[in-house]
Structure formats: structure tokens, C-alpha cells
């Protein structure tokens, strides 16, 4: 439609020039008829017929300065405008076309043009009314054709957009809504088409995301069912395991070589079973309690962790506490103890699983440093390290264990506790063994609380001063 509007005015100008040219050509033919007549004498009734056929009032030929009237009507009107088609340019044609459409009615035009030989000028006087009527009919035809073309174009565009975009997007939207209502139903996963455009890419990415999400939800459901099952049996199972552990301790006191060889393994197995149930339930809770932070010496906590893990060198594994005695950390003591216990236990189990313990080289080392308001703690060992394929999911429960038979809960719980402090637990690449670093930032000071506390202390001091006075 816009293109039609842009070409409408030039088209009208061209139509006007063509219409006038046709009239002038008819006048040229009539002039040849007059020239062919004997002595250029044509009966008056024939002249009127020729003028009526052309639709003219006067027909003349101008040679140099002499004008010869070939035919003239009974009542010729005065001429309002001269038009020389030979000197008519594009811009002037447009302006005169507009002038014709909006000019007063009843104007008379004299149209001039050269003969075929160019020796003379043919002049024909016509009324402007038929020209304007023809131009209006042409404009109506152009408008009707433009509307038809616009309607057909709009219909084609609508059909194309509906087929290429609207219907595929409705399909995408429908699949997304249906999947959101029941993500466990695989029928709601979209089947991508073979399109190579953006819609096809969106379909394939949506299908991939839906499959991943469905798998994740299925895994979460399995984990929820596992947590429910373990929570139901945990109470009775722990009682049974505690009784079995007590019996194992008594059996271990029997002075028999065979008993002494198998009793520690029995006790260790019971300990692992109890720890597994406890860790599973602890991880399945909605959330850990918020950290109850306080400043304390980190070296003492590291030493307590080593004692609890039994890292006294009896199994050939040395424990190095490289923490500065003056270094303090702002953290929840119990939660940080659990983090160090998990990391230390993993390191010890990795060394024992490898075997061939060398007391001179095998060790578990804990070091720490303070950088401004951030404390960084590094727990390293000389074990076999962490396999490359496990590292991407190292801190995910039930998938990140590097030890056969492990659950991966220890690192998952440790990472959650560190994040609760606003820190981060990460694995550090090392040439030998495994190194885990955890960062614990200090608390952000609460200025309002400090001011209230300072105000209370100032008030108490003033009260004591008044009492002393």
C-alpha cells in the first residue's frame, strides 16, 4: 500500500500525458485528412464529425508564424491554458496533473505538438472535463487494484506468519504449559521438528531442557522417597545398630586372636552404618540452622578435629596442624567442626583405600591464613586425589563421591555449611593428593546494633556515676 501511494502521483501524471498524446495523435491524423482533400476543402458537416470524433473544438496547423485553422466548431470557447507536450518535463507533468484534478471546472486547453515530419505544429483545442473524468476513473481503478493487492498480500503474509511462526509458537507454548502442569509425564515433552531456523533451535533447546528437568525431578522424587524410607526406619535401625555396637565392643574385649582380628572390622562397619543413616537424615532436612557465629582460635578446633578422627599416627597417617595459634575465625564452632570432620574423614579414607601407607610422606595437613576480613582454610592430603570425571559433580549429594560405595554426602553437607557463612568450598588443582579450600568471611558489622549497644553502655556508665555521686 505504501508503494502504491508513492507511485500514485507519478502514475496519474503519466496517464494525463498519455491521454493528451492520444488526442494529439488523433489531431495529426485528422490534419492529414484535411491535407489530402482537394484544395484542403472539407465540407462543414465532415469537419464537425472529425471534431466530435476527436472531442475537440478547434483543429489547426501552425507553420512558422502562420496558423491555419483546419476545423472549427460553431461556438469556440476562449483558451484558458496552453500545453506543449514537446517541452513537458517530469516535474511539470506532475504539477500539471495535480492542477488538472483540483482546477475549476470548464477550462479549455490548447494542446500543441509537432507533426510527424517536424515541419509544423499541430494544435487542438479541447475541454478539460473529459480529461479530468478519465483521470478520476483511472485513480479509482488504481485504488481498487491497490486494495485488492493489499488484501491478497495481507492474506499471504497472515497465512505465512501463521504457518511459520504463530502455530509453532502456540505449539511451544502449549507444550510448556502442559509440561509445567505435569512435568513427570513424558508425553508433554515436545518433539522437535527439522527446522533449521530460530524456531527449530527453540524447539530442540526446549526438548533438551524438558528432558533434563524431567530427569532431575525423577531423581528428586527418588531421593525424597529414599529420605522418607530412611526416616521411617532410622529410629529402630539406630537402636539395633547401637545394640550391635555395644555387643561388638564387648566381643572386642575377649582375649582371642581371631576375635581381635575381626572385631575392629565389625565395629568399623557398624560405625559406618550409623554414620550413613545420620548423614542421610541430616542432608534431607529442609535446611541447616543459621550459624551462631563467634570468634575463636582456629588451631584448637583443628586439633580437636584431629583427635576425634583418631589421627594420632597409629595407622601411619600423620596429622599436621599448621594453623597459627593467634589466628581467629568468626564462625559457628560446631558447624565448622562438622566441615573439617567431613574433609578430614574423606582424606583419611582416601589414604587408607589406596593402601601402602608411608609414615614418612603420607599426611593430612590443615593450614589457614587471614586476608583482611577473610579467613582461608586449606585441607590437603597425599592420597590418590580426585578423579577427573568426578570433579564436575563433586559437591552434589549421591553423585559426587570419588570413593566406591560412598554417597557424596560429606562434601555436599560441608559445602552447604560453608555457604551459610557466606563463604565457598572449592577443590584446588594439585600435583599430588587433594586440596580443598574453604573461605569464611567475617560478619558484616551491624552499625545500628553497635550504636544501640554503645548507647546502653554510656547510659549504664552515667547511672553508675550518679550513684557514686
Tell me the domain boundaries of the chain.
2-146, 198-283, 292-448
- Name the 3-class secondary structure at 77: coil
**pLDDT tens digit sequence for 139-152:** 899 888 888 988 99
The closest of 345, 210, 326, 375 to 279, measured between CA atoms, is 345
Confidence band of 332 (pLDDT split at 50, 70, 90): very high
Q: Residue 457: its pLDDT value, please?
A: 59
Confidence band of 42 (pLDDT split at 50, 70, 90): confident
CA dihedral 392, 394, 400, 403 (to 10 degrees): 120
Under 8 Å between Cβ of 124 and 27: yes
Query: Is the per-residue pLDDT at 283 higher than 60?
Result: no
Q: Lowest-pLDDT range, 40-44, 172-176, 308-312?
A: 40-44
Q: Residue 422: its pLDDT value, please?
A: 93
Confidence band of 423 (pLDDT split at 50, 70, 90): very high
Architecture of domain 292-448: 2-Layer Sandwich (3.30)
Under 8 Å between Cβ of 138 and 15: yes
Query: Is the per-residue pLDDT at 459 higher than 70?
Result: no
Q: Lowest-pLDDT range, 171-175, 251-255, 293-297, 457-461?
A: 457-461
Query: Is the per-residue pLDDT at 322 higher than 60?
Result: yes
Q: What pTM does this model have?
A: 0.45
Q: Residue 223: its pLDDT value, please?
A: 74
Under 8 Å between Cβ of 383 and 350: yes
Q: Read off the DSSP letter of residue 443.
A: P
**pLDDT tens digit sequence for 371-398:** 999 999 999 998 888 888 888 888 877 6
**pLDDT tens digit sequence for 121-175:** 888 888 889 999 999 999 899 888 888 988 999 999 999 998 888 888 888 888 8
321-366-269 Cα angle (round to 5)? 95
Q: Lowest-pLDDT range, 4-18, 137-151, 413-427?
A: 4-18
Task: Give the relative orientation of helices 2-36 and 44-54 as an angle to the nearest 10 degrees.
Answer: 170
Q: Residue 39: its pLDDT value, please?
A: 62
Handedness of CA 6, 10, 16, 22 (dihedral sign): negative
The closest of 434, 412, 406 to 425, measured between CA atoms, is 412
Q: Residue 156: its pLDDT value, please?
A: 94
- Which one has a higher pLDDT value, 59 or 224? 59
Q: Lowest-pLDDT range, 282-296, 352-366, 395-409, 433-447?
A: 395-409
Q: Residue 286: its pLDDT value, please?
A: 46
Residues 6+ away with beta carbon under 8 Å from 398: 223, 407, 408, 409
CA separation for the pair 441, 201 (Å, rounded): 43
Amino acid at each position: 500500500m505504501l508503494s502504491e501511494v508513492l507511485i500514485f502521483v507519478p502514475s496519474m501524471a503519466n496517464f494525463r500525458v498519455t491521454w493528451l498524446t492520444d488526442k494529439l495523435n488523433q489531431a495529426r491524423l485528422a490534419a492529414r485528412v484535411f491535407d489530402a482533400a482537394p484544395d484542403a476543402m472539407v465540407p462543414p458537416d465532415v469537419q464537425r464529425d472529425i471534431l466530435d470524433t476527436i472531442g475537440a473544438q478547434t483543429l489547426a496547423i501552425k507553420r512558422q508564424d502562420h496558423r491555419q485553422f483546419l476545423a472549427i466548431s460553431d461556438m469556440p470557447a476562449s483558451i484558458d491554458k496552453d500545453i506543449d507536450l514537446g517541452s513537458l518535463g517530469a516535474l511539470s507533468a506532475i504539477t500539471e496533473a495535480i492542477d488538472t484534478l483540483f482546477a475549476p471546472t470548464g477550462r479549455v486547453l490548447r494542446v500543441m505538438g509537432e507533426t510527424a515530419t517536424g515541419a509544423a505544429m499541430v494544435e487542438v483545442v479541447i475541454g478539460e472535463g473529459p480529461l479530468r473524468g478519465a483521470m478520476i476513473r483511472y485513480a479509482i481503478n488504481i485504488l481498487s487494484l491497490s486494495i485488492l493487492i493489499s488484501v491478497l498480500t495481507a492474506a499471504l503474509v497472515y497465512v505465512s506468519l501463521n504457518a511459520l511462526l504463530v502455530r509453532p509458537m502456540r505449539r511451544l507454548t502449549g507444550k510448556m504449559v502442559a509440561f509445567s502442569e505435569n512435568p513427570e509425564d513424558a508425553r508433554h515433552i515436545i518433539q522437535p521438528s527439522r527446522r533449521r531456523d530460530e524456531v527449530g533451535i527453540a524447539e530442540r533447546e526446549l526438548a533438551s531442557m524438558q528432558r533434563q528437568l524431567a530427569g532431575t525431578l525423577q531423581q528428586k522424587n527418588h531421593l525424597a522417597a529414599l529420605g522418607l524410607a530412611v526416616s521411617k526406619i532410622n529410629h529402630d535401625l539406630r537402636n539395633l545398630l547401637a545394640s550391635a555396637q555395644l555387643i561388638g565392643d564387648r566381643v572386642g574385649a575377649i582375649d582371642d586372636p581371631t576375635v581381635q582380628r575381626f572385631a575392629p572390622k565389625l565395629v568399623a562397619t557398624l560405625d559406618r552404618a550409623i554414620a550413613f543413616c545420620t548423614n542421610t537424615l541430616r542432608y534431607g532436612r529442609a535446611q541447616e540452622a543459621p550459624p551462631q557465629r563467634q570468634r575463636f582460635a582456629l588451631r584448637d578446633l583443628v586439633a580437636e578435629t584431629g583427635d576425634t578422627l583418631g589421627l594420632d599416627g597409629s595407622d601411619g597417617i600423620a596429622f599436621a596442624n599448621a594453623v597459627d595459634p593467634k589466628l581467629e575465625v568468626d564462625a559457628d564452632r560446631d558447624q565448622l567442626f562438622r566441615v573439617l570432620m567431613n574433609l578430614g574423614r574423606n582424606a583419611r579414607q582416601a589414604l587408607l583405600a589406596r593402601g601402602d601407607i608411608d609414615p614418612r610422606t603420607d599426611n593430612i595437613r590443615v593450614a589457614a591464613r587471614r586476608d583482611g576480613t577473610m579467613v582461608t582454610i586449606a585441607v590437603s592430603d597425599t592420597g590418590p586425589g580426585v578423579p577427573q570425571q568426578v570433579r564436575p559433580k563433586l559437591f552434589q549429594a549421591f553423585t559426587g563421591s570419588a570413593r566406591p560405595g560412598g554417597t557424596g554426602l560429606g562434601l555436599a553437607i560441608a559445602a552447604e555449611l560453608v555457604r551459610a557463612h557466606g563463604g565457598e568450598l572449592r577443590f584446588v588443582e594439585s600435583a599430588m593428593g587433594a586440596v580443598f579450600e574453604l573461605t569464611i568471611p567475617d560478619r558484616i558489622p551491624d552499625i545500628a546494633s553497635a550504636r544501640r549497644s554503645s548507647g546502653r553502655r554510656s547510659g549504664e556508665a552515667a547511672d553508675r556515676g550518679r550513684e557514686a555521686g
